[in-house]
Amino acid sequence: MEDMSAVVGSTPLRQEREWNIGWADVGPFLALLALLVIGFVINPDFLSATNLGNVITRSAFIAIIAVGATFVISSGGLDLSVGSMAAFITGITIMFMNSMAPEWGLAAIPAGMVVAIVVGTACGLMNGLIVTVGKIEPFIATLGTMGIFRALITYMSDGGTIPIARSLREAYRPVYFGTIGGVSVPILISIAVAAVASFALYKMKYGRKCAAVGANEDVARYSGISIIKTRTIAYAIQGTCVAIAAICYVPRLGAATPTTGVLWELQVITAVVIGGTALRGGKGHVWGTVAGAVILELIANLMVLSDFVSEYLVAGVQGVIIIIAMLIQRFSK
């Protein structure tokens, strides 16, 4: 971490605005690097291929959802419903696949994935319309849908579990546990999602509209940008991302339960903010967000691999690390 302040100190003459962008882009990756070094010092096993593979793979859900959240937050919105939505989509997808499996066999898996995407996008669109057309504060609107999705998954499962049919389980497993060219599938999917998202956010007109709406609603309106359309699309993208995460999630434990995705929304928002996107909106940082998701998962992993934190204090130490990371980011500007 000291390295970073040294870098900051050595470039005092740069224009502030320019530097902000530079720091926000590089900051999360420096933090990631610092964590890896600290981790290695604490326990050399930390850098083993298996451990890093595990940690990055399981950060994929949060990373994929957080990429969607980068759009929502960048456009000045917020979505608290993503964790419950992930559980709901997981439940719907499994129920659909199970009901189609006897007739369609393994074709039920890709069909179920399509259903997941459609349902996810629809859920996101609904959130977006409530916020934009309904003109309800995003916090309250998505707090409401968060309750709705959570209740639906609890109802669908009778409070228990919705397991995927045995006949589909083995065929579906590679979507979480498989590798292509030595890289696990969820990692590849999250890289693909982030690549598409960064293209949309940085190279397409929509991305600039998103940042404009988030940075200053009035100016955006005077420039002829449709606030309603821009924000609604951001929520729909968020829904699609949640669906993609759900598709990767299903084969991991092969079941949806009422506790699936609990508190994911907070991890997602934390990942976005660690990644350098301001919670009040403005420019989004897709790759920073991905790094943020990996950082969160690495911190949790480090807590287990190190021996000096009492089991009772783990959550506290995690909180302290996150706050320190954000403070460094704030004061180096």
**Positions that interact with other proteins (CB under 8 A):** 43, 45, 48, 50-51, 54, 58, 95, 154, 157-161, 163, 177, 252-255, 257-260, 262, 297, 300-301, 304-305, 311-312, 314
Give the nearest distance from C-beta 259 to other proteins in angstroms: 5
Closest to other proteins by CB, 127 or 154 = 154
Closest to other proteins by CB, 16 or 311 = 311
Give the nearest distance from C-beta 94 to other proteins in angstroms: 13
Closest to other proteins by CB, 75 or 257 = 257
Closest to other proteins by CB, 154 or 277 = 154
Give the nearest distance from C-beta 304 to other proteins in angstroms: 4
Closest to other proteins by CB, 20 or 167 = 167
Give the nearest distance from C-beta 285 to other proteins in angstroms: 26
Give the nearest distance from C-beta 292 to other proteins in angstroms: 17
Give the nearest distance from C-beta 164 to other proteins in angstroms: 13
Nearest-angstrom CA–CA distance, 4 and 99: 54
Closest to other proteins by CB, 194 or 298 = 298
Nearest-angstrom CA–CA distance, 104 and 1: 55
Task: Give the angle 87-92-97 at the CA atoms, nearest 5°.
Answer: 125
